Amino acid sequence: MNRFPGQTVIVTGAGSGIGYEMSQRFLAEGAAVFAADLDPSGVPEGTVGVRTDVTEPESVSALIDMAVQQTGRLDVLCNNAGASSTTDPVACTPEEWDRVFAVNARGVFLGTKYALPTMLAQGRGVIVNTASAAGLVGLKDRAAYCASKGAVIAFTKQVAVQYAGTGVRCNAVCPGTVDSPWVGRLLDAAADPEQARAGLVARQPMGRLGQPGEIADAALYLASDAAAFITGTELVIDGGLLAG
């Protein structure tokens, strides 16, 4: 059964990994999907690929305007685009800090800022932000990443409280370690990629990494009417990592 027939959905970071799976699943469930990415050539077939830089207000505003002008509505926004960082506070440069925050925190803010007027005018809408389990705990060599994802979680709660009762909900998904191209690039940069992957798997209570589709499924649940009484929460999908 389709949960999103006739709805308009925007997904950022849709060219690969979690964003690709989100876009594909929303499309399969009846939505018109605007799949945004710096390089939209890899977005799922059947979606509307839009080149978008989530750090630039004009780019994000144009994305929202395109979706609303073409369909007359905006039902779901998935602020999913993200940037990685693997340094400690001493090694992290101010430039790296700003780059990570520009994508992970500023990008979520801009998407939300420009989506809200349409959603509020409709009296309904859902925002799903991709945060991280790293936003809830401290991880070694993830200074900017942990801080930026923590900011996403706090912002999600603020938006949820600000607009509770208007018909607009805002939640976050917090993935653990996911077997995605993004994690693959981090492993490729390691001195011993196979050993690094084995280490990631070994720390998982379930004995495996997550799959992008599992995170996407959680996002679709939060965007659906089945989650109508859920706002301001962070849904952790980490195979038990934080429970250990």
State the catalytic residues: 145
In this structure, the chain runs to a length of 244
Query: How many CA within 13 A on the CB side of residue 175?
Result: 25
